[in-house]
Chain A
């Protein structure tokens, strides 16, 4: 299906209903589709199933960047959470998401990072499930088929994951939806892009077809349904990143 180019984040998620499932990656500022998440927050979509690696605010070292939009901000909208890192207990505080989990308002399916990403890959690749050694003898083996395979090791049967919507953050796109990423911002984005019925990518720049080097494309446009360019002053834009960095010292200064 042809990739559609939008100019408004609100419009790209106009058909996002209550109760839908969403996959989104977040590694602090990096790889996080902040504008799409912000639009979803504004739209106040309810009863989400959220599939994401970490539910923590963006941080650098011990400095929390509260004004960076991450899945952490969606806590009130989430009915079911699939994640490897639900909260902030490592900072010695209970997050809004952890409170909801404790109060029974959000159901938690706890997984390891590696199993989460592989389940998403299976979902995107038409694989019906796979056996993995991670999690044997731990809380995550509950309810899963366990078997000893030919190498004599125990494995757990893991099921594929897909979602209704995937929010993707890439560096550049061409008008066919081919994507390239930047640094660690690649993360789980290319994997999630394969496993969602509607994939929406926000990118720093949309260029003409032919301007991206075909050898470097990580996500072919076949996976990408909607594209939107982050505006000059948008969340996660080069300008926004410079503003965030300007809070920290440059060469030799003390903060």
Chain B
């Protein structure tokens, strides 16, 4: 088995998409790791759905005893306050999302189609899993970046012609960063931009349902 990017490396590559001063929402899983792998010299403000903007670093588990329950993020993890942090009510928090004020949302996915349709809130029927804020983020953030593994646990492509799982939103994803590739998606279909070290475009294509365009040079992923 050829090496793939680790979740931390995927997060680090996805974080390269962020710019100094961006306001960003991170989803559960690999996206959450992006906070720890920001490119040197940039500051971004993280947004939590219940109404926190610009919170500080997460409290390591070894210090939870010194944390504060009113300072938790959307994933119920303690954070430290940071100068410039702001609280608002949840209505305003979602105004920021729907009103296109967030520069980026980095989210996980169950499936993404070549046209950028996203399925990321349930693995099965509508009665399991939670929509949470995903539908709002998917239609509202200026850029939607997906950070995920390229295939399922069973080796099936997660980048598909048409999503089989319940949709979060149609045509909302701009970029996929997987453990094998960086792929732009949208109305003109998926375009392969970067591949993991040691992998060929043909090998990545074999694990991807829709045909990948390869116009322009395909570079090696750096993070």
Chain A interfacial positions (CB closer than 8 Å to B) = 25, 27-31, 53-54, 58-61, 84-87, 89-90, 94, 98, 101-102, 108, 110-115, 117-118, 120-121, 132-140, 181-191, 218, 241, 244-255
Closest residue of chain B to A87, judged by CB? Answer: B128
Q: Complex Cα distance A84/B137, Å? A: 14
Q: Decide if B136 touches A134 in the complex (CB within 8 Å).
A: yes
- Partner of B166 from the list A86, A139, A253 (CB cut-off 8 Å) is A139
* 19 A-B pairs with C-beta separation under 8 A: A60-B67, A60-B77, A84-B132, A89-B130, A90-B129, A112-B133, A113-B133, A134-B169, A136-B170, A137-B167, A183-B71, A184-B71, A187-B90, A248-B61, A249-B62, A250-B65, A252-B63, A253-B65, A254-B62
Cβ of B140 under 8 Å from chain A: yes
Question: Which of B11-19, B43-51, B204-212 interfaces with chain A?
Answer: B43-51
Chain B residues contacting A27 (CB-CB under 8 Å) are: 50, 72, 76
**Is the CB–CB distance between B91 and A54 below 8 Å?**
no
A114 and B72 contacting across the interface, CB-CB below 8 Å: no
Which A residues are CB-close (under 8 A) to B28? 90
Interface status of B134 (Cβ within 8 A of chain A) = yes
* Bound: A56/B132 CA distance, A: 12
Query: In the complex, A112→B93 CA distance in Å?
Result: 13
Interface bits B39-81 vs A (CB < 8 Å: 1, else 0) = 0000000001111100000000111111111111000111000
B66 to chain A: which residues have CB within 8 Å? 245, 250-251
A187 x B130 contact (CB < 8 A): no
Asked, given contacts A111-B131, A135-B135, whether A59 binds B76 with beta carbons under 8 Å apart, the answer is yes
What B residues does A253 contact at CB under 8 A?
62, 65
Question: How far does the Cβ of B126 sit from chain A's closest Cβ, in whole Å?
Answer: 5
Q: Is the CB of A60 within 8 A of B132?
A: no
Please report whether the interface of chain B is mostly helix, strand, loop or mixed according to DSSP: loop
Are A110 and B126 in touch, CB under 8 angstroms?
yes
Residue A132 contacts which of B48, B67, B98 (CB distance < 8 angstroms)? B98
Complex CA–CA separation, A218 to B64 (angstroms): 29
Partner of A115, one of B122, B129, B136: B136
Q: Which residue of A lies closest to B67 (CB)?
A: A245
Asked if residues A186 and B129 are in contact (CB atoms below 8 Å), the reply is: no
Instruction: Indicate if the CB atoms of B76 and A86 lie closer than 8 Å.
Output: no
Set of chain A residues within 8 Å of B202, measured between Cβ atoms = none
B89 and A249 within 8 A (CB): no
The answer on a CB contact under 8 Å between A113 and B90 is yes
Residues from chain B with Cβ under 8 Å of A118 in the complex: 91, 94
- Other than the given A31-B50, A186-B50, A250-B63, 12 more pairs (CB < 8 A) read A29-B69, A60-B67, A61-B64, A87-B130, A101-B127, A112-B132, A137-B169, A245-B69, A247-B65, A249-B65, A253-B62, A255-B61
Q: How many whole Å from A80's CB to the nearest CB in chain B? A: 14
Give the contacting residue for A89; candidates B64, B68, B89, B128; CB below 8 A: B128
A132 to B134, CA, bound (A): 14
Q: Which residues of A contact B50 (CB under 8 A)?
A: 27, 31, 53, 184, 186-188
Residue numbers in A under 8 Å from B63 (CB-CB) = 249-252
Q: Are B128 and A61 in contact (CB under 8 A)?
A: no
A211: min CB distance to chain B, Å = 21
Q: Which residues of B contact A29 (CB under 8 A)?
A: 69
Taking a contact as CB atoms under 8 Å apart, the answer to whether A184 and B126 are in contact is no
| C-alpha gap A19/B49 in the complex (Å) | 30
Task: Assess whether A186 is in contact with B87, with CB atoms less than 8 Å apart.
Answer: yes
Contacts of A185 in B (CB 8 A): 70
**A residues near B52, Cβ cutoff 8 Å:** 183-184
Q: B214 within 8 Å of A by Cβ?
A: no
Q: How many Å lie between the Cα of A32 and that of B68 in the bound state?
A: 14
Q: Any chain A CB within 8 A of the CB of B173?
A: no
Q: Would you call B139 an interface residue if the criterion is a C-beta within 8 Å of the partner chain's C-beta atoms?
A: yes
